[in-house]
Amino acid sequence: MTISPTIQQWLQILSLWGWIWIIPILERLFPLKGQKFVRKGMINDLIHTYHRVHLWTMLNAALITWLAIYAQENLGQGPFLRGGLIGAHWAISFIAILLFGHVTFYGAHYLSHKVPMLWQFHRVHHSSLTLDSFSTSRFHIIDKTLFAGPFLLLITYFQPDPEMAFLFVCFNDFWGRYGHGNIKDAHWLGYFMSNPKFHRWHHSNHPEAIDKNFSAEFNFLDWIFGTAYYPKGKVPDNFGIPEYSNNIIVQHYQPFVDCYKIAKKDGWIGLFRKPKNNNTNSLEAKRD
Ligand SMILES: [Zn+2]
Ligand SMILES: [Zn+2]
């Protein structure tokens, strides 16, 4: 399938500038909970958003498309299904890309909660005390790379239609913002998709929801592996890590400091495995 250059340009504009400001309007029109528009850490998150525009959205869309084209031109088909998606119908390519994205995100996200070293980088994303679409982009760049790396490898290996890869990145960008938005939608949607209510439980500090709801878009892996938590008639209201800095510069060096503290306290193995009894470890207490 060929996407016209005009549609591609519109999708790029929406990814770069559109959703960032359209979704906050939806948040005002259909709020899940009463929340202030201006809140603590908002400037920091806007810096993350636009730093993300440069370092992530553009790079991601461009890199994935380029990788897919490069792989098709230079790698071609080979043993072990290499290039298996070359020439596939666009719908097959799109479903495969969705699956690649979903499985790699779920796996990377699960590990980033379970491996102490990875959690130090991922907890930047969990540090916001308020959940709204602006908080979507609050990510450490190493954390973001961990989420993207396996997906890029699969795209390069199987070489699906580059235009479908581009469409997926645009959809991913929209849904990421929507899923973090303070938006009320149909409860049933959360049984299929990581909608705002579903993802809010992932960010909440409620003990029953810790390490639940890892999905990004479709959430069937959470339901299959028993990590879904989606009660009817309840909305979480306790998010974030109050003691964490709201300064993007601190947020980028703090994980290294925290890793050093863990290594000093529990040894290098402590970076890869949680100690059996670590109730006193303040860096990990919220996840245990
Ligand atoms: Zn998480
Ligand atoms: Zn999130």
User: Quick one: pLDDT at residue 288?
Assistant: 38
**Distance between CA atoms of 196 and 130, rounded to whole angstroms?**
13
How does pLDDT run across 230-281, given as a tens digit for each residue? 999 899 989 999 999 999 999 999 999 999 999 999 888 989 988 776 544 4
* 216 within 8 A of 174, measured Cβ to Cβ: no
Spatial neighbors of 52 by CB under 8 A, at least 6 apart, are 137, 139
Task: For residue 113, give the ligand nearest its CA.
Answer: 1
Spatial neighbors of 153 by CB under 8 A, at least 6 apart, are none
CA distances from 40 to 53, 237, 238 (A): 22, 16, 15
How does pLDDT run across 84-139, given as a tens digit for each residue? 788 888 889 889 999 999 999 999 999 999 999 999 999 999 999 999 999 998 99
User: Quick one: pLDDT at residue 171?
Assistant: 85
CA of 240 to the centre of ligand 1 (A): 11
CA of 83 to the centre of ligand 2 (A): 32
CA of 151 to the centre of ligand 2 (A): 18
Place of tokens 């528009």: 37
First-to-last C-alpha distance (Å) of the chain: 47
181 vs 77 pLDDT, higher one: 181
Task: List the domain range (segments joined by +) for residue 108.
Answer: 5-287
CA distances from 62 to 124, 152, 170 (A): 26, 12, 11
Task: Characterize 35-46 residue by residue with b for buried, 16 or more Cβ atoms within 10 angstroms of its Cβ, and e for exposed.
Answer: eeeeeebbebbe
Spatial neighbors of 22 by CB under 8 A, at least 6 apart, are 14
User: Quick one: pLDDT at residue 287?
Assistant: 44
CA of 56 to the centre of ligand 1 (A): 18
The H or E element that residue 190 is part of is none
Task: For residue 112, give the ligand nearest its CA.
Answer: 1
**Distance between CA atoms of 225 and 84, rounded to whole angstroms?**
28
* 127 within 8 A of 251, measured Cβ to Cβ: yes
Does the pLDDT at position 183 exceed 80? yes
CA of 214 to the centre of ligand 1 (A): 6
Count: domains in the chain = 1
pLDDT bracket for residue 161 (50, 70, 90)? confident
- Exposure on the CB side of residue 141, measured as CA atoms within 13 A: 15
CA of 251 to the centre of ligand 1 (A): 16
User: Quick one: pLDDT at residue 60?
Assistant: 62
Q: Which amino acid is at 107?
A: G
User: Quick one: pLDDT at residue 160?
Assistant: 85
Place of tokens 């989606």: 230
User: Quick one: pLDDT at residue 285?
Assistant: 42
Task: For residue 200, give the ligand nearest its CA.
Answer: 2
Q: Using CB atoms within 10 A of its CB, is residue 88 exposed (0-12), middle (13-18) or buried (19+)?
A: middle
143 vs 73 pLDDT, higher one: 143
Task: For residue 179, give the ligand nearest its CA.
Answer: 2
* Helices 248-266 and 42-52, axial angle in degrees (round to 10): 90
The H or E element that residue 100 is part of is helix 90-114
The mean of the pLDDT values for the chain is 85
CA of 77 to the centre of ligand 1 (A): 36
CA of 71 to the centre of ligand 1 (A): 31
169 vs 220 pLDDT, higher one: 220
* 14 within 8 A of 53, measured Cβ to Cβ: no
